[in-house]
């Protein structure tokens, strides 16, 4: 009878584990997979939606730039009446059509009258119509501000698409790390719960043996220390799990920006390390070489260079003299179908800075910005290539360590079971059992940490790839 109770300790632990499983089944807990979790984040997280707004903002900018080419209607009317005398009545209406190469087509109608009308505003009684064109032959012919704004707006859409991917993948990476930490703390809590139950059963068994006179009272001290230590570890693990769940809840949202709290009835994906590469699409990258030419960071820098190049051309165009030629054909409304060469209005505007210091300085600054961004692009290509290579090695190494850690856990379990069997025959001590169990706990914590690092390393590779779609 001396060691009979302790002989049944492993079986009591198994029964307790079975009761826990029955209780879990009764509560109908369900697995919240990593793939399902990422689906919620991609669809409903506010910051992911904000990243998608970058494209909408770029499209709105493009619409604004195209507005510079919209036809314009203008009407100016000015009249003065004093003491029964009409000093003047001036009506000047116009219709202008801006075109791509700085050329502007315009039509107008004037009708002016009055006793004190300025002679230069005198027109025939029916009015005067005009139809003409304005052409810049220096600055603004091949590129001007509105042309540059439109080109940059078109490039900005591509830049926004690349930046959207970078912003979205950064959010998904943080969300993934939160899920992995939740899984890590959940596994640790489950492990400490089991060992806390095991320590409690041993403590109760030792107390029973002491009452029967088969053990000394001092033997309950060691069992009590082990039990209290497991309780302390369990409470600390419970607190970490609670914080991890709250951190994970920050990434869970529903439609209309409604936050969602993680339910206690959900538990993380148990075999995540077997499915994570397929979920994050890192398995293809590990199996073959990955080209960085379509990488969002590369595309973003290339588009920034494109925008700077448009700005450089605009600055270079300012070195040319400003020469604007305009011609308008004039006619009375009733004779508009009969063209007469002698009725016209022409104009020439010329301006040119003598030293061009402002223009030359602006051009040099634009060229320096292009050179700076080009250097960043060259460096980014090298860094991305090396990051991908290094991350592949990290994943492969952690996978090997994970498998070795699992083997060590199995070996430590065998040693603990053997020690418990020897103790049941009176050939071991509770101190050795606790020592074996502590070694097993350390090995299990190492295995859990390595699984967590393996998952995080895959998410880091996913972040480097920057392909959230």
3-state secondary structure at position 446: helix
- DSSP assignment, residue 123? -
- Residue with more model confidence, 291 or 170: 170
Q: How many CA atoms lie within 13 A of 133 on its CB side?
A: 7
- Three-class SS state of 122: coil
pLDDT at site 246: 94
Phi, psi of 24 (to 5 degrees): -65, -40
The per-residue pLDDT for range 244-277, each reduced to its tens digit, is 999 999 999 988 888 888 888 999 998 999 999 9
Q: Over 50: is that where the pLDDT of 207 sits? A: yes
Residue 8, pLDDT > 90, answer no
Mean residue pLDDT of the chain comes to 87
Average pLDDT over residues 60-76: 92
For position 70, what pLDDT does the model report? 92
Instruction: For residue 152, give every residue at least 6 positions away whose Cβ sits within 8 Å of its Cβ, in sequence order, or none.
Output: 65, 307, 310, 311
Res. 357: pLDDT tops 80: yes
Contacts of 320 (CB under 8 A, 6+ apart): 138, 139
Name the band, by pLDDT with cuts 50, 70 and 90, for residue 28.
confident
All structural domains of the chain, each given as residue ranges with its CATH number in brackets, are 4-64+147-305+370-465 (1.20.1600.10)
Measured from the Cβ of residue 26, the count of other Cβ atoms closer than 10 Å reads 8
Query: Rounded to two decimals, what is the model's pTM?
Result: 0.83
Concatenate the DSSP letters of all residues of 129-175 into one string. EEEEEEEESBTBSS--HHHHHHHHHHHHHHHHHHHHHHHHHHHHHHH
């Amino acid at each position: 009878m001396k060691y009979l109770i302790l002989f049944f300790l492993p079986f009591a632990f198994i029964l307790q584990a079975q009761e826990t499983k029955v209780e879990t089944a009764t509560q109908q807990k369900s697995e919240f997979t990593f793939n399902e979790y990422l689906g919620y984040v991609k669809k409903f997280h506010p910051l992911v939606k904000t990243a998608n707004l970058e494209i909408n903002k770029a499209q709105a900018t493009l619409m604004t730039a195209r507005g510079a080419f919209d036809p314009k209607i203008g009407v100016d009317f000015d009249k003065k009446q004093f003491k029964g005398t009409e000093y003047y009545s001036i009506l000047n209406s116009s219709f202008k059509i801006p075109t791509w190469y700085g050329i502007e087509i315009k039509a107008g109608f004037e009708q002016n009258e009055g006793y004190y009308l300025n002679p230069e505003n005198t027109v025939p009684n029916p009015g005067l119509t005009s139809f003409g064109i304005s052409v810049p032959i220096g600055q603004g012919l091949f590129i001007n501000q509105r042309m540059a704004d439109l080109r940059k707006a078109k490039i900005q859409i591509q830049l926004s698409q690349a930046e959207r991917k970078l912003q979205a993948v950064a959010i998904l990476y943080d969300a993934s790390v939160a899920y992995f930490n939740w899984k890590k703390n959940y596994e640790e809590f489950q492990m400490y719960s089991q060992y806390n139950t095991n320590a409690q059963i041993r403590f109760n068994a030792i107390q029973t043996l002491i009452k029967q006179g088969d053990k000394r009272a001092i033997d309950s001290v060691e069992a009590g220390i082990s039990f209290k230590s497991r309780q302390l570890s369990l409470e600390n693990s419970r607190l970490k799990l609670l914080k991890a769940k709250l951190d994970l809840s920050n990434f869970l949202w529903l439609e209309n920006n409604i936050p969602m709290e993680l339910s206690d009835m959900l538990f993380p994906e148990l075999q995540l390390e077997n499915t994570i590469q397929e979920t994050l699409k890192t398995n293809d990258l590990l199996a073959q070489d990955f080209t960085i030419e379509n990488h969002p960071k590369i595309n973003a820098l290339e588009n920034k260079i494109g925008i700077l190049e448009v700005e450089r051309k605009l600055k270079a165009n300012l070195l040319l003299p400003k020469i604007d030629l305009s011609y308008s054909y004039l006619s009375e409304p009733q004779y508009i179908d009969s063209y007469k060469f002698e009725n016209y209005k022409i104009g020439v505007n010329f301006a040119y800075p003598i030293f061009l210091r402002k223009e030359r300085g602006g051009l040099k600054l634009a060229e320096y910005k292009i050179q700076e961004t080009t250097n960043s692009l060259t460096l980014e290509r090298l860094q991305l290539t090396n990051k991908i290579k290094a991350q592949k090695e990290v994943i492969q190494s952690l996978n090997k360590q994970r498998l070795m850690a699992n083997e060590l856990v199995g070996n430590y379990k065998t040693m603990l079971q053997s020690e418990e069997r020897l103790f049941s025959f009176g050939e071991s001590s509770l101190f050795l059992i606790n020592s074996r169990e502590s070694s097993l706990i350390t090995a299990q914590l190492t295995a859990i940490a390595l699984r967590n690092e393996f998952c995080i390393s895959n998410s880091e590779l996913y972040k480097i790839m920057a392909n959230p779609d």
